[in-house]
Amino acid sequence: MPQVNRRTILHLALLGFALYLLLFSSFAEYHAYANDELTDAHGCQIGLWVQHGETAVLTIVLISTALTTLFYSNQFTVKVFNRKPFHSTVSLRAPPYSLL
């Protein structure tokens, strides 16, 4: 019997979880669309989940866009010192007056 790596088990578990969420979300989206709950949930829990999910995606996109703009406009990173080029730091000649 071949041995199964822990990493392979983790990958398969995460793949299964992602497929479960995809399947669940597709059924929830179908339910909300079929019962006309995309704009008004009529008190249905699944319709509320879909509406909150749409709002969360929009909020995440807007916040990530604002943070990206903020970080790229202001340089918060540590400045890298200009290093000397390789040819000026390495020399193949001897120190001056070493042979005298």
User: What confidence score (pLDDT) does residue 78 get?
Assistant: 56
Q: What is the dihedral of CA 33, 35, 39, 42, to 10 degrees?
A: -150
Whether residue 33 contacts residue 21, with contact meaning beta carbons closer than 8 Å, is answered with no
Which are the contacts of 47, defined by CB distance < 8 A and separation ≥ 6?
31, 32, 35, 37, 38, 40, 41
| pLDDT score, position 46 | 84
User: In 3-state terms, what secondary structure has residue 57?
Assistant: helix
Profile the chain (100 residues) by mean pLDDT over runs of 10 residues: 82 94 89 84 83 88 91 66 56 62
